[in-house]
Structure 1
Amino acid sequence: MRGGEQPLSRLDALCFTRRVVAQQAARQPALTDRWIAAEEQRQAERHRGEERGPQPAQWLIQYGLNRSHVDAVHTGDCWVAARSGRCRPATRQQARDALRHVPACVHCRPDTALGMLE
């Protein structure tokens, strides 16, 4: 304490604490509003990215473990192809050409979708 100053009473300390808490409380809604606005912007950007993103392939060619030969042909939404992890997107013509040499997936039947059944 400096000359002549009185120590803070408990009441003075509590009043000071209340003013500090009130100031902080007044700032928090604005801070929270900024966080909300930033999250809304991130969600909007994510949504725009999903809309603009590449369209899923209609046809997939599954390669063997050594990735040098073709094992099967799938439609783009085949669950077997999604699980294999060895598929690459293909054009309609590439899928038709591959089906002349390898079997069609028995689950998604790309040969039927391509009109190639004999």
Structure 2
Amino acid sequence: MQEGLDLPYPIEKVWDTALSVLDHAGWEITHQNKSSDGMEIHVTMDMITWTETFYLNLIKTGDNSTRVVLGRIGLAQPADWGIAKQHTEQFLLKLESTLQNVNQSVDERN
């Protein structure tokens, strides 16, 4: 399972915002490498399943554009597929809305 999102923001801004969104969600970043723009994240899916491991990759597609790819590492129980997809979609939506809100606040101050 892998989901992607293209964002009209520089990679540095997306990286910093992704860290903030992950922290706020309580997801544990177990490994991060800013030089390769990648992270490994552990997420407790719910009270009856185990922790899932996700990867987050940021790809610079232009000076002010970044592709975000979030996917799961390894196999999971079929019952977890829907939960993992829900977590992935929620993260990408939250990342996009946070970036939009920050950008809008900056525009309003100018």
Task: Please indicate the TM-score interval, normalised by the length of the shorter structure.
Answer: under 0.3
In our comparison, the structure showing a higher alpha carbon Rg is 1
Q: TM-score, normalised by structure 1?
A: 0.25
Higher relative contact order (CA 8 A, sep 6+): 2
Q: Which has the larger share of helix?
A: 1
Q: TM-score, normalised by structure 2?
A: 0.26
